[in-house]
Structure 1
Amino acid sequence: MDKTTPRRPALILLATGLAAATPVLAQERPAVGDPGAEPGTLRTVTGENGEVIVTAPQYVPLGSVTATKSDIPLIETPQSVSVITRDQIDLLDFVDAQQAVRYAAGVYGENYGPDARYDFFTVRGFTPKQYIDGLAAPVTTTISSVGVDLYGFESLDLLKGPSSTLYGNVPPGGVYNETSRRASPAFGGEIRAQGGTDDFKEVAGTVTGPVADGLSVRFTGLFRDRDLVADHTNARRVYVAPTATWRIDPRTTLTGLVYYQYDRNTGGNGGFLPAAGTLLANPNGRIGQRTNLDDPRDVFERRQSAEGYELIHDFSDALSFRSNAKWSRYRERTPIGIYATGLTNTTDATLPTYYRTVSQANFSYAEDVTSFATDNRLSASVATGPLHHKLLAGVDYRRVDNVAAYGFAGANTIDAFNPVYATPGTSLLPGYPTRYNDQVLKQTGVYGQEQARLGQLFVTLGGRYDRVRSAYLTPFVAVGTPGARTKADQERFTWRAGADYVTASGIAPYLSYATSFEPVLGTDSVTGGAFRPTTGRQWEGGVKYDARGLPSDVKLFATAAAFDLHQDNVVTTGANGALPVFGTQSGRVEVYGGEVELIARIRDRLSINGSYSYNHSEIQASGIAAEIGRPLPTTPKHKASVFVDYDLQRGPLRGLGIGGGVRHTSGSAGSLPGAFNPVVLYGQAATLFDVIVSYDMPGWRIALNGSNIADRRYVARCSGINACFYGAPRQLLGTVTRRF
């Protein structure tokens, strides 16, 4: 099942067919006239000669705990990692994670336009698993994202390629980890107001500081009210996140982390338009980008929350212990989910319904997920003769309880070129009568890692043993149907090895090999045996550069990488695909390619974000002959992007900033061929332009951002003949921020 696809088509087809991370490291230049803002964040100061200087000490990442669960710098990490820091997010005014990865290498987002519920993107052909503060998020049965708001995080880290050595059962494309904002012992914060196209309105803020000796707190909050692209749609969000850090003694720190988010979307989410009239020709013309073939009465409602802690204790300068834990809850309801299912008449041109009347169905969905996750590890630094060692040993555990149910009923018809919505009460309300998932999953992993240094040579080795236990009730039967739980136990050892050589000038060639696995529920329909885990393996080589030989006010990090990634034991599903998956374990996938990425901040005035990615994906073996030789969905061969921003520091226009960017993505397959997709449709290639104009003064920032400023209209993806999605249209956002 393609987990990047919104839930409705996947489930309807089934129904009808049936770390803790720390802030990144960076050098910070001193300035005169600092208004006292929170240290380590984007702020504006006055220089010695009256210059207006926008400092962004974390714009260029030099470290990421996500990559190694330790303080090993990125330059010494033999694997591709993209880090989108809070300074980048604030300077470029990204609204969500899909926007934040626009200029990152090897990552493809916004395949469904500006979805306000989840963060949809793929990494090297696969949907990455989401982590929050180093612990797995309580993702739903089919969507690998919980959609927590980007404003609540200090950074978003993308660890690319197989990563099971540290994180257990994950897809071969990698993981992404979002690090929550933390309390600071220095007082500071901001309040921000935004407004823009599609009636976008938002107020957000964060404040932090000490409240007692050794105790610091932070509160972050957000309220957003926006319309979506399609007519008659609206999305509202409330997000709050208190946190506190208690420095118990000079060697012990305890941080408490809490968040709560409420979402209510009405009118549907747009999309699910027929290919005829969007990607393909239609005798009646083109269906408008804002056409809504859902229903204004549609409701998507979600509540999610989590409470957790991070405990750090340093036994000495060479030995430390870190413990993380999180209790999470996720509740989603769609009592009314009317959407378009396809054209009713594509053969008789004499009828007025020809290529314009679309049938509708009502798909209701409910899901509850509760989870507990903990990760505990020891790290040590020791020397044995000429060798210096950084050692890591840990154990993590998580339990996930997932209950999901749905209903399905036919609804109305609607004119795709002149939508008139049925009067209230005419649509059937099916409730949630059918079980989709009722599962308990437990995972325990024991892992170890060593980085050995000999002069300028660094060798990293890691291994992990996982045991995953799951028990589930038979799906696609009436809720409450009695039956014994089917139990499945799967075990796997994964490992990785890599080496890099860091020169005095900051150039570091590297080579690595890594493996991954994911458990698969169900029984092979051919062999009759339980499915084995799906496995991944990857070779990667490249070079990194951190500009350590350049002046201190030139900050730069660049990576060039080539990789060859394989996935084995892929389950090929039949026409009655289900969860647990029904099919045979005969699939094999290869993805190979290369990436180049550059992030720079020069003299606190020039910022550069640029990347290029090439991905060749191919299904090499499958139980469905039509799949062999096909590329993976939403995996374009080419993605190129660059953004440049320049701030004037002197003269009558000092404080003014101007920036512009261009993004190009080639077209990619929207699905794999099969019973429900006899014709594979490719999304359109698109070249998009972004701009930013800003004005900064101490304590204040005013900015106007434009995304897809030329308003290029294109079909980003068709996951089926009746499920096409336009890409994100032009968005203009004005932002006023008061920092203190």
Structure 2
Amino acid sequence: MDIVTAGRKAASPLIRYRNAALLGCTALVAFAPVSLRAQEATTPTVLEAITVDGQGAGGNGDDDSKTIVATTTTAAGKMPADILAAPASISVITSREIQERGAESIEQVVQYTAGVVTDYYGSDDRYDYFKIRGFTPFTYRDGLVVGRTWSGVREEPYAFERIEVLKGANSTGFGVSDPGGSVNYVTKLPKSERFGEVYATGGSFAHKETGFDFGDSLTEDGTLSYRLTGKFQRSDAEYDYSRDDENFIMGGLTWRPTDATSLSFVFDHLGRDGTPSSGGHPRGTDFDRDRFFGEPDFNYDTTNRNTYSVLFDHDFGNGLTFNSSARHSKSGSGFGYAYIWDALGADDPADTRVDRSYFGNDKSSEQFIVDAHLLYETHFDNVESRTLFGAEYNRFNSESDSYYVAAPAIDFRNPVYWGRPAALSPYSSVENDQKTKAIYLQQDLTFFDTLTASVGLRNDWLDLRETNRLAGSTASGDYSEMTKRFGLSYKITEELAVYTSYAESVAPPGTGTEPTKGEQYEIGIKYRPDAFPALFTASVYDLTMENITTYEAPVYLPATVDKIRHRGLDLEAKVELPNNINLIGAYSYIDSKIVEKGGAFDGNSFAQVPEHMAALWGTYTLEGEGKRGDMTFGLGARYTGSYYFDNANTRKSDPAIVFDAAFTYKIQENTTFQVNVSNLFNEKHIANDDGGAYYYNPGRAIFASLRQTW
């Protein structure tokens, strides 16, 4: 299933939020202290408005281009929140961190985030492969659902001001999703002042890239402003007969007729022309990564997507604001390639021929989604209250054809290519028509500026219709699903907070099947010192997911697992020390168990879930002296423990550690030269063994960039 419902809408720039909100209803007032109820006749006090010039659709108060330590987020729900007080585990990757690490893909963006495993499919480049707490996440853009990373579009990180990672279940905040977590992409929106940058990048695999991001006010009073962002890339991948080309352009207009109203329109086009993989490497061999065992004439991976977004905000005053966003997108994508599928591999030294298969998919989709909500904030005595009520509508249509036939075997010692398949008939041809309606309520109460109680309720009505065009049959299903979230956060001091939460998730995997349901219990602690920008978090969780649909090689047809339970620990730190040292650290432990009484996998670990993961990234800036400009040195290490490649737990990876490095030199005030190296020592390991072939982790890549800002 591609997509079933929508998520949350993040607040837009120049929205005024106040530090308190409405006590939502009489039932919630009953939880207030007796001293508060004795003053029911008192007129509510609305705190003085605070205007926040947000850096993007998140409407956050952070300048994401200047810091790696975010303080606010909308990832836990549709209400902007202080990360310290939010009863959830949230990681924010700002645009500064993305640029410093030279992240070229979403996988690279989230590599240093606790609880996230990346690159578990190795040299298969079709999707953004990462999991949060052991499960594939749903992704959102400005709070509106995009879909699962598996089978979805590979997003362009340069389009976003920040990327917010919420760990754990939260269907009440985002809509129908899986329990491991979710990711919200915050779009770059026009600002009210002049700014800009242009850059050029070159490096490994004949990589050539240029990009720009600039904007200004179109009127003297700043009521109308624009932003234009683009990236154009021509490159190969690290294997023969490959390419990795991209055209991305995004333009936005923001109109602010008053300080209380903001209307933004954004159009973006994403075009990719790449190749899906090298076809895998024969099992039992150890060839270089650049060896190609697919078919040069049947090796494509394309994306063509146009998106139109509208974001509207209005502040009525007295604590009441209205926010609405809508998006229409239309895309076409497809891939086709030949890959090795030979369970014996190179077990027989005399047999150097391996079997292969042709595999492909062509898909078109169209989506319209709209979300609207009211946020009312007020302050009663020592209680701050925020109440949000909203509704959402999502319509999604797609057509998908999948192909799978045997391909000629190939001699891996002396490859001879056979070309495209003579004819391809789909083994699956499916048309999906999905409509989702939802209403939701979120209520936060903060007592004496220390204890925050958070409640979220959401009901989704899912109308799903799936047509099998080969069989001429149609299946349909109607679902009504209620999800809940409860959280408590207590500020021990202004710098230290503890929290606990319970959250649910629900996501039907396909028409006519039982919904995939999840729930999570979590406790955690957060520390944000006043002395310098930093955020330290630790959390322990217990989450389960039921009625899971999995996809196993070679053709990845759906199979069902009854229940999966993950219990784990996440530790994360982001620190900007006064002596020009920045640090990002993460550690994760996951105890993964498949639970299906009497089933073949009972007691096994879920595939692609390492027990241990750790990462550390640090930078040191040597300040300029005389004619020499600032120099920043960066070094990182990523450790991934061993994990099983399959749910049967018959094949397992080796633990591995990969190093990254960066160097930036400020040539002059607004001109920088930057070098980024991923996999510094060219460490090589098997990231995926699907039973028919090996897929290695990405090799060393070196990129140099020249950047001019204003």
Report 1:191-270 matches (<5 A).
191-212=198-219, 213=221, 214-266=223-275, 268-270=276-278
Cα gap change, 1:24/1:498 in structure 2, threshold over 3 Å: closer, same or farther?
Answer: farther
Deviation of 1:346 after TM superposition, in Å, equals: 6.4
Give secondary structure in 2 for the equivalent of 1:469.
strand
Q: Which residue of 2 aligns with 1:515?
A: 504
Residues 644-701 of structure 1, C-alpha deviations (whole Å, 9 max, x = no match): 101112435541111211111101111212xxxxx63112211111111110131111
For 2:278 and 2:554, locate their aligned partners in 1 and report how far apart those are by CA, in whole Å: 27
Q: Is the 8 A contact 1:22 1:64 kept in 2?
A: no
Deviation of 1:317 after TM superposition, in Å, equals: 4.7
For 1:572 and 1:607, locate their aligned partners in 2 and report how far apart those are by CA, in whole Å: 40
Q: Which residue of 2 aligns with 1:83?
A: 92
Structure 1 counterpart of 2:646, from 665, 671, 678: 671
Q: Which residue of 2 aligns with 1:473?
A: 467
Q: Which residue of 1 aligns with 2:444?
A: 451
Residues 56-81 of structure 1, C-alpha deviations (whole Å, 9 max, x = no match): 53321111112221121111111101
Report 1:355-370 matches (<5 A).
356-370=352-366
Please tell me whether residue 392 in structure 1 is matched to residue 391 in structure 2: no
Residues 357-382 of structure 1, C-alpha deviations (whole Å, 9 max, x = no match): 12222223211111111111111112
Deviation of 1:621 after TM superposition, in Å, equals: 1.5
Q: Which amino acid aligns with 1:180?
A: T
Q: Is the 8 A contact 1:138 1:400 kept in 2?
A: no
Q: Which residue of 2 aligns with 1:464?
A: 458
Give secondary structure in 2 for the equivalent of 1:732.
strand
Q: Is the 8 A contact 1:187 1:208 kept in 2?
A: yes
Please tell me whether residue 708 in structure 1 is matched to residue 697 in structure 2: no
For 1:582 and 1:589, locate their aligned partners in 2 and report how far apart those are by CA, in whole Å: 14
Please tell me whether residue 630 in structure 1 is matched to residue 630 in structure 2: no
Q: Which amino acid aligns with 2:537?
A: T
TM-score of the superposition, structure 2-length normalised? 0.87
Task: Could you tell me which runs of 5 or more consecutive residues in structure 2 were left unpaired when the two chains were aligned.
Answer: 4-8, 16-52, 57-62
For 2:269 and 2:217, locate their aligned partners in 1 and report how far apart those are by CA, in whole Å: 23
Residues 128-154 of structure 1, C-alpha deviations (whole Å, 9 max, x = no match): 011111111156xx9353112111111
For 1:375 and 1:496, locate their aligned partners in 2 and report how far apart those are by CA, in whole Å: 20
Give secondary structure in 2 for the equivalent of 1:361.
strand
Q: Which residue of 2 aligns with 1:294?
A: 294
Report 1:474-489 matches (<5 A).
474=468, 478=470, 481-483=471-473, 485-489=474-478
Cα gap change, 1:246/1:22 in structure 2, threshold over 3 Å: closer, same or farther?
Answer: closer
Q: Which amino acid aligns with 2:357?
A: A
Q: Which amino acid aligns with 2:284?
A: A
Q: Is the 8 A contact 1:130 1:144 kept in 2?
A: no
Cα gap change, 1:58/1:575 in structure 2, threshold over 3 Å: closer, same or farther?
Answer: closer
Q: Which residue of 2 aligns with 1:164?
A: 171
Report 1:449-598 matches (<5 A).
449-455=442-448, 456-474=450-468, 478=470, 481-483=471-473, 485-521=474-510, 531-548=513-530, 550=531, 554-570=532-548, 587-598=562-573
For 1:221 and 1:570, locate their aligned partners in 2 and report how far apart those are by CA, in whole Å: 39
Deviation of 1:607 after TM superposition, in Å, equals: 1.3
Deviation of 1:582 after TM superposition, in Å, equals: 7.0
Report 1:115-194 matches (<5 A).
116-137=125-146, 143-194=150-201
Report 1:100-111 matches (<5 A).
100-111=109-120
For 2:358 and 2:552, locate their aligned partners in 1 and report how far apart those are by CA, in whole Å: 25
Deviation of 1:605 after TM superposition, in Å, equals: 2.3
Deviation of 1:347 after TM superposition, in Å, equals: 7.5
Q: Which amino acid aligns with 1:272?
A: G
Structure 2 counterpart of 1:617, from 582, 592, 616: 592
Cα gap change, 1:374/1:39 in structure 2, threshold over 3 Å: closer, same or farther?
Answer: closer
Q: Which amino acid aligns with 2:546?
A: D
Please tell me whether residue 641 in structure 1 is matched to residue 612 in structure 2: no
Deviation of 1:515 after TM superposition, in Å, equals: 0.7
Q: Is the 8 A contact 1:271 1:724 kept in 2?
A: no
Cα gap change, 1:620/1:411 in structure 2, threshold over 3 Å: closer, same or farther?
Answer: closer
Q: Is the 8 A contact 1:706 1:731 kept in 2?
A: yes
Q: Is the 8 A contact 1:534 1:569 kept in 2?
A: yes
Q: Is the 8 A contact 2:283 2:346 kept in 1?
A: no
For 2:406 and 2:514, locate their aligned partners in 1 and report how far apart those are by CA, in whole Å: 38
| Larger CA deviation: 614-623 vs 149-158 | 614-623
For 2:14 and 2:203, locate their aligned partners in 1 and report how far apart those are by CA, in whole Å: 31
For 1:440 and 1:56, locate their aligned partners in 2 and report how far apart those are by CA, in whole Å: 40
Give secondary structure in 2 for the equivalent of 1:515.
strand
Deviation of 1:258 after TM superposition, in Å, equals: 1.2
Q: Is the 8 A contact 1:274 1:721 kept in 2?
A: no
Q: Once superposed, what is the RMSD of the aligned Cα atoms?
A: 2.8
Give secondary structure in 1 for the equivalent of 2:264.
strand
Give secondary structure in 2 for the equivalent of 1:229.
coil
Residues 478-534 of structure 1, C-alpha deviations (whole Å, 9 max, x = no match): 3xx533x211011111111111112444100111111111114355xxxxxxx4322
Q: Which amino acid aligns with 1:340?
A: I
Q: Which residue of 1 aligns with 2:304?
A: 303
Q: Is the 8 A contact 2:263 2:310 kept in 1?
A: yes
For 2:318 and 2:66, locate their aligned partners in 1 and report how far apart those are by CA, in whole Å: 26
How many aligned positions are there?
A: 656
Q: Is the 8 A contact 2:255 2:262 kept in 1?
A: yes
For 2:642 and 2:672, locate their aligned partners in 1 and report how far apart those are by CA, in whole Å: 37
Q: Which residue of 1 aligns with 2:670?
A: 699
Q: Is the 8 A contact 1:111 1:725 kept in 2?
A: no
Deviation of 1:453 after TM superposition, in Å, equals: 0.8
Q: Which residue of 2 aligns with 1:46?
A: none
Give secondary structure in 1 for the equivalent of 2:98.
helix
For 2:563 and 2:280, locate their aligned partners in 1 and report how far apart those are by CA, in whole Å: 30
Deviation of 1:39 after TM superposition, in Å, equals: 10
Q: Is the 8 A contact 2:331 2:365 kept in 1?
A: yes
For 1:223 and 1:114, locate their aligned partners in 2 and report how far apart those are by CA, in whole Å: 22
For 2:597 and 2:669, locate their aligned partners in 1 and report how far apart those are by CA, in whole Å: 60
Residues 542-587 of structure 1, C-alpha deviations (whole Å, 9 max, x = no match): 1011213x1xxx21111111101011234689999997x676xx71
Q: Which amino acid aligns with 2:406?
A: G
For 1:55 and 1:612, locate their aligned partners in 2 and report how far apart those are by CA, in whole Å: 24
Cα gap change, 1:68/1:508 in structure 2, threshold over 3 Å: closer, same or farther?
Answer: same
Deviation of 1:626 after TM superposition, in Å, equals: 2.4
| Larger CA deviation: 556-565 vs 67-76 | 67-76
Q: Which amino acid aligns with 1:507?
A: L
Cα gap change, 1:63/1:125 in structure 2, threshold over 3 Å: closer, same or farther?
Answer: same
For 2:579 and 2:332, locate their aligned partners in 1 and report how far apart those are by CA, in whole Å: 44
Cα gap change, 1:340/1:434 in structure 2, threshold over 3 Å: closer, same or farther?
Answer: same
Q: Which amino acid aligns with 2:355?
A: S
Deviation of 1:723 after TM superposition, in Å, equals: 3.7
